[in-house]
Each structure stands twice: as C-alpha cells, then as structure tokens.
Amino acid sequence: MSGKPLILILLVLLTGCSTLKSGKTKTEHISSLFPGLEKIKAQNLSDNDFNIKKAEVEITIGDEKQKLLASVKYKTPGFWLVSLKSNTGIEVARAYMTADTLLINDRLQKKLFYGKTNAIEKKYGIPFIALPVIFGDFIAGNLSGIDSTICTEERNTQTIKFEKFEIKYFISCRDSKIISSNIRDLENKEIQITYSKISLVDNKKYPARILVKDKTENCIIEIKIRNIDFSNIEKIDFIPGKGYENILLK
C-alpha cells in the first residue's frame, strides 16, 4: 500500500479508537440490578497512564491486506502518541493527539498533517472522545443515577446516546467487563469492536485481541497487544518531521 492508505489506516485506527468533554447525554436500559456501571467504568484503561510497547496490527481493506507493528502511549487526562512501523521496524507514521490538536508525521511521503482533532469526526463521523472505546473502555459522561444494569444470561447491553453518535456496549456480567461495542453516527455508519483474550497486568484487565469492523469502508482491523505496562508516563513528545510538507487537515 502507498503512503496515502497508511495515513488513512492510521486515522481509522484512531477513530475506532482523551477524556470525555462535557455535554448532554441520554441513556437507555437503566435499572437497579447487578453489576454497577461504576464498577465497569473503574476498569477503564484511560483512567491511568499506559504504554502499549508492541502490538501487531493486520488491516484488510477489500482485497488488500497489510501487517504493521504499532505502539501507543497514553497519558492522562488525554494525551496520545501512536506509532506505526513496518514489520522490519521502520516507522511509517506517528500521530500525536489531544482534545484539540492532531499532528501526524507521514514518514514515507515526508508530510506533516496538522489540524484540530474534530477533523477526524468530519472525515469519518466518529468523534475523538470515542477513542478509549477501542481499548474496551466505557465512556458515558455523567453517570449520576446510572449505576447498574440488567443481566440476562450473564450478559447485558447498554446504549449511551450523545449529541452526534451513540455507543452500544455488550457487557459480561460475570467479569463486569465490556466484550464488544458498536459506535454509530447520525448517518447510521457503524463501527463494530470486539474484545477477547482478556489479560491481567498489574491488576488491570485489558483485551489482548481487538477486532474492529467498518462495513461501510469494507475494512477489518485486528490488533494483538503483545506488551503493555502501566507505569506513569512523565511526558509525551512529538517532533514534527524536519523539512516535511505541511498539510492542514480540514
């Protein structure tokens, strides 16, 4: 694949995949039975710093398939640094994101893409605030009065509606952990994310295998997390490519 599809892949990864800005939310399927949503939310990876040192990524778009290596650094309350490398270890793209900043080094084409984070939402319809969902997190804004769910056959669904999109969570009542999520925008474009091979490091559960499906784009992304730690990250740095062509994302 050329450099342009690689940048597209990076953005798809990041939009599957900060903290939640304040805003109005609506909820469905609320009750007073086990398990509490606060217990589920307490397992969010994005409530703490984390560093995915190595992840294997396989992207299938139509008949094309590519394998990459990825690393992800996250520092609370919402700083992201994502690197994509070829299987030989050569970095092809790096992205830095905050609630209002998006910077991407395209090392293959020597281009620096820059702009506001809402450029992702404009292009793909999925807001930046939904990024933690790709790792199995539960985002819902103010959870006041929304502290539990109904379980049927050890599973439950929760639909959280935001202004421009909604997220439907499928929850394991036994593990109090999300097993899959569907993100849908106002145009009914939907991204399906499933989580499996739940692992435990430093008393924190995380999905070692993540599968992202975007039927609209005929795209499937499989992520296998091979190495992760939860040490505090002092600082996240992004160095723009020297002499790169600057391109504004709109």
181-231 pLDDT, tens digit per residue, is 998 887 788 889 999 999 999 888 899 999 988 877 788 889 999 999 998
Question: pLDDT value at position 121?
Answer: 66
In the predicted model, residues of the chain with pLDDT beneath 70 are 1-36, 120-127, 141-150
84 DSSP β-pair partners:
70, 93
Query: Of 121, 127, 125, 124, which is closest to residue 141 (Cα–Cα)?
Result: 127
* Cα(217)–Cα(88) distance, integer angstroms: 28
Q: What is the pLDDT of residue 148?
A: 52
Give residue 18's pLDDT: 29
Confidence at residue 150, expressed as pLDDT on a 0 to 100 scale:
66
CA end-to-end span of the chain: 24
According to the model, what pLDDT value does residue 49 have? Answer: 94
Contact partners, residue 109, CB within 8 Å, separation at least 6 = 3, 4, 245
Q: Which residue has the tokens 């599957």?
A: 16
Q: What is the pLDDT of residue 34?
A: 39
Distance of CA 8 to the CA centre of its chain: 15
Q: What is the reported pLDDT for 246?
A: 95
Give the count of alpha carbons within 13 A of 124, CB side only: 27
- The whole-number pLDDT of residue 165 equals 82
